[in-house]
Structure 1
Amino acid sequence: MLTIVIQIDFGLDFSLQFLAFDTEASHDILKVWDGPPENEMSLREVSGSLLPEGIHSTLNLVSIQFETDFYISKSGFAIEFSSSVATACRDPGVPMNGSRNGDGREPGDTVTFQCDPGYELQGEMKITCIQVENRYYWQPSPPVCIAPCGGNLTGSSGFILSPNYPHPYPHSKDCDWLIAVNPDYVLSLAFISFSIEPNYDFLYIYDGPDSNSPLIGSFQDSKLPERIESSSNTMHLAFRSDGSVSYTGFHLEYKAKLRESCFDPGNVMNSTRLGSDYKLGSTVTFYCEAGYVLQGYSTLTCIMGDDGRPGWNRALPSCQAPCGSRSTGSEGTVLSPNFPRNYTTGHSCVYSISVPREFVLFGQFVLFQTSLNDVVDIYDGPTQQSSLLSSLSGSHSGESLPLSTGNQITIKFTTVGPETAKGFHFVYQAVPRTSATQCSSVPEPRFGRRIGNDFAVGSSVTFECSPGYMLHGSSAIRCETVPDALAQWNDTLPTCVVPCGGILTARKGTILSPGYPEPYDNNLNCVWKVSVPEGAGIQIQVVSFATEHNWDSLDFYDGGDNNAPRLGSYSGTTIPQLLNSTSNNLYLNFVSDISVSAAGFHLEYTGKCSHNLYAWASEEVELPCTTLPWCQDLDLPPS
């Protein structure tokens, strides 16, 4: 650290003028003190490439300290100092991004300052010229106008600026703003200017009071986003910058506008929603997922209420898994009561399933978890007096039932307690009847596909799973003759399950939470290691994400293990849409606690090259990140 002390005769006026200034922003800092540093009377603290305004001391001694880090160096600074006999206070100047009211500089005169919209006064709004013997100075020192890093905004309109705007924002900043207006209003946010470092610095905007609210968008780069609106009277903005490159930042304007639409009605568990327009007269309709029954009205309409405010004409419906049902058709789903939450005790639920007469039933338990005292009985016919196909309790996820002999089965679920569990998720299909030379039709595994359509004796079919799933069971089965009996497959049908972790080396792939799209289990500790060729980074795209907030978390590490730098730890529904590693390895760790679970997550990863696209006059060719010996005979353009 360099320290310079300048001292002149007592009673003279002291000023510093900057002739040149260029230091590494936020890292190499020049500090100017009124007197010795131990007096703690700071006059100015500056860095970057903007030429600072002149500095005036109230004492006859000035201390200058210059501190640098061990990375980037710049050309530095040149300062000229002068002294004169004081007869009045010096001109206090006009703060950058602000204005001044008052021109008097005699002892007792006052001037006031205010900042432009979006800026905040650092210092006192009013200062007074003071004379002490031969010294003339402003008390307190003139203020400056800064663009704050975050804050709470409650006015009906206002501006939000990135720190240091219009100059480049500082590195390693975490800035959060909350905008809250009258509950009868919504917020409109317009982008006046926008330029932040792509892939590393982000502005997240949430439709609500905090980062647990729905994410409206994640913004980066220099493309000016379109105007956005909230669905309520609050909006949360979070700006994150990394430790290196910075751009000029952003200038946003918000306005409160009278609400002319209904609030977002939200989602109904175990359903899909059609309709995203909430204006007066608009409708939203809810459709229950397979196995659930709608309770209430499926369609809601936005109307003007008696209080003069927009509102929905009905309460939200719900989708419940019933205790007992009658199902028809070629395929379907049966769920235990309250699924995917635990069932309650004291039930005796009967489910009747029928398919067309020319078919028999193939059934499979996608999930089966009951207390050992709670039993699921499956009967090969329309009543409980039919022959018993199977009787299950405990854990039997992925198991298939023997084919029914007719087109009907009956399921009875009896719960006596005292313990409960998740219950069951049962799917069924109608399949053609078998014969001595023909095996039964083989359905495609859920989350996978069957390869082969010949079910005659001697034929084989194979199976593969969708990305993110792993085959559990045989990858191929063969239709074989059975003496004096019907033809049968030589093995049970496989299932496609989500593994709890794994090692992934393909250039692109899928990562799912265990059980996806069903809720994940409790007490999980899953690790995925992603490794792509050297020279590439890894980009994660978040397709969906929902975990128990604060209790079940997914951590990302920029390397091959959990000792690498952590990119982030996420829970609830808040996560960036894109995450990027700087190396060719990525380590993911998902941990769930002992109680509540949620829908889980769906991630897509891709190995990204820094420079891998070359263009010819007629086509574009994508080349590997590594050396290209097989391209030596091509006339490659400069990379």
Structure 2
Amino acid sequence: MWIVVLCYIPLLSAAFTTGHCYEPFVRYGNLTSSDNTWALGALVEFGCDPGYTMEQGSVTIECINPNNPQWNDTEPACRAVCSGEMTDSAGVVLSPNWPEAYDKGQDCIWGIHVEEDKRIMLDIRVLNIGKNDLLTFYDGDDLTAKVLGQYKGSKSHFKLYTSSADVTIQFQSDPATEVYGYGNGFVIHFFEVTRNDTCPELPEITNGWKSSSHPDLVQGTVVTYQCYPGYQVVGSELLMCQWDLTWSGDLPICARVVSCTDPGKVENSRRVLSGPHFTVASTIQYICNKGFALSGNSLLTCFSRGSSGPRWSQKLPRCLPEAFEPCRHPGTPTYGIPSSRKIQFQPRETLHYSCQAGHQLLGEPVLHCVPGHPSQWSDLPPVCKANLGEYDGHSFQDFRLDRVQIAFVVFIPILFLLVTGIYFFSKGQKKPVQLSLFSSLPYENITGESTFDPSVNETMVRQWSLI
């Protein structure tokens, strides 16, 4: 019959009793014996605690030699080693030399494998390593698999789940930093759990329905909840299957709608509410800003429509820019110069006036087309008045030139009429018109003796006077 000894009980007196061996001991392990008095012929079998590996010595020893009872081999030693392969359904991975400090410059790799239809839950109970040391978990059977997590320094108790039946753990300690002290390292418990790549099924909700982004509720699947008319979702309407196969939130409900939703604001307007909430019978009035005209109904009322729930009585109105008639050109003053000669001006357009040189502008130089029905100019057109104070020598010469031109225009027609009258008068007398200025004197009638003839002189004077 075998007896399992789980704790160390000193039996020093029995160790040296005649016919007995001393009590065996193994640190970080346990032993079972066929005789708890360690008498001659007793068999002891050793085992290491989870996470430790047996080194040196023998797994089983026997008390022999009746004359001098002693064990036939030395007790083994259990130590947390760097690296290892484990295929048990549960176990422990310890940092090297745990609970003593691990050595610097170590690169340890552990592989854990469970049944193919299972997955692994990692329960990290102690993590207290150096800030330059690194503990990495790979979701697979080698270092090329997806990283489940990577940690350094200290971290409180947490768990990780693999997606398959294999996990690889790598620990790298800084070669330049020595770690001292008891309890520095890590303790990782692992368990084989049922392989389930999907989140638990979500129930239906009253007065609503659900839809899923994937037929199977695998990681990343999103389930959307919606409610029937007259009801609204209370809670999160979207639930996602997370990496740990739990849902991102609690199940929502569909509650009866007792108020209208906020219809929103209208651009270029303000609104007046009948109350802080949009309950049935509440109203909203929209008022357009200046320069904008309302298109639609300004008053919206929340009313109940039976099973479909409360709704607004009208659609949202719009505030559109007002349409105004254009202003017609106000005209151009004498000696004035307008900035534009187009016939019509749109509301809020401007028209500038200036005067020609030598004239002064009296009135407003800038007119604005004021919007309205009809639109009107902001003022009357200005007047351009001659500036008398600026008649200098140049202006006086222009004035004299104007007098000469006036005389030329008046007297030339009179002279023309006078000559024409003489011509027709002479023709009526049947005598040619003779102008002494352009005809020769009758030299053949003048003798050498008569040097002066008064009659001839009188005739010349008469002809000159006609001219």
Q: Indicate the TM-score class for this superposition, using the shorter chain for normalisation.
A: 0.3 to 0.5
Question: Relative to total residues, which structure has the larger helix share, 1 or 2?
Answer: 2
Higher radius of gyration, 1 or 2? 2
Using the size of structure 2 for normalisation, the TM-score is 0.37
Using the size of structure 1 for normalisation, the TM-score is 0.27
